[in-house]
Amino acid sequence: MATPAHELPISEARAHLTDVVNRAAYAGEITLIKRGAYGKPLAAVVPMSVLDLLAKLEDRADIEAADEALAQYEAGHSKPVSHEDLWARLED
């Protein structure tokens, strides 16, 4: 996986956006974008392969969580929750 190659202030990244994007797309570089010369990174321009990997990892984590919840339910350690109750819990 790519590691951050360099950091740029937002103003410099804006001025060189085409280069920043091309370096991500074709050289696999990650550029951290920060506010001001000494600010901490706020965002990053990453290759699509990094974003794809993140999505796969999130999907795997979701599947593992669903499998664990199903196993708990099938073992009698949890009860089903109605759709209405779920939304009520999420709104709290």
Residue boundaries of the structural domains of the chain: 1-46, 48-92
Mean pLDDT of the chain: 92
Measured distance CA(7)–CA(40) in Å, rounded = 9
Measured distance CA(26)–CA(48) in Å, rounded: 10
In the chain, pLDDT over 70 holds for what percent of residues? 97
Record the pTM: 0.71
Q: Residue 81: is it exposed, middle or buried by C-beta count within 10 angstroms (0-12/13-18/19+)?
A: exposed
**Whole-angstrom Cα distance, residue 60 to residue 70?**
15
* Topology of the domain covering 1-46: YefM-like fold (3.40.1620)
Are 23 and 2 contacting, i.e. CB atoms less than 8 angstroms apart? no
The 10s digit of each residue's pLDDT in 21-54 is: 999 999 999 999 999 888 899 999 999 999 999 9
Rounded to an integer, what distance in angstroms lies between the CA atom of residue 8 and that of residue 37?
Answer: 7
pLDDT at 81: 86
